[in-house]
Amino acid sequence: MGMNRYRSMAVFREELRHFLRRSETASRAVGITPRQHLLLLQIAGSDGATATVSDLVQKLALTQSAVTELVQRAEQAGLVARKQSTEDGRVVHLSLTDTGSRRLEEITEALDAERAHLQERLDGLEL
């Protein structure tokens, strides 16, 4: 039984790594970095399709300074917009611009078949 478990874990890691590589390639194909893709995805997937830097630090497992720099570059590229919170002036909400939304949709569509393949492979594994 132990070897089957390790085999399943190995297949899981292999499939996950292949998906991540294809995701990185799809990001670059639409002119954004893989980290920008993850940023856009996490913002779009947040409650209300907005997120704060603090939210993103946790979701992306990056440091505050790394997320701040990532957000600044994405804002300069026209992918995200900032809006000051009306409840707390220290809080800034981030949302996707039309350009950011289009890039995310292009990547999402490009990865549809990859996600289906990954789901199919993972459904059969006992982890």
* All structural domains of the chain with their residue ranges: 2-123
DSSP 83: E
Q: Which fold has domain 2-123?
A: Arc Repressor Mutant, subunit A (1.10.10)
**Cα gap 31→16, rounded to integer Å:** 23
> Rounded to two decimals, what is the model's pTM?
0.88
The residue count for the chain: 127
Ranges of residues in the chain whose predicted pLDDT is under 70: 1-3, 127
Q: What integer pLDDT is reported at residue 17 of this predicted model?
A: 95
Q: Is 12 helix (H, G, I), strand (E, B) or coil?
A: helix
Q: What is the pLDDT of residue 61?
A: 95
Reading the block at residue 70, the tokens are 């990532």
pLDDT at 3 (0 to 100): 60
Tokens for 127, please give them: 């982890």
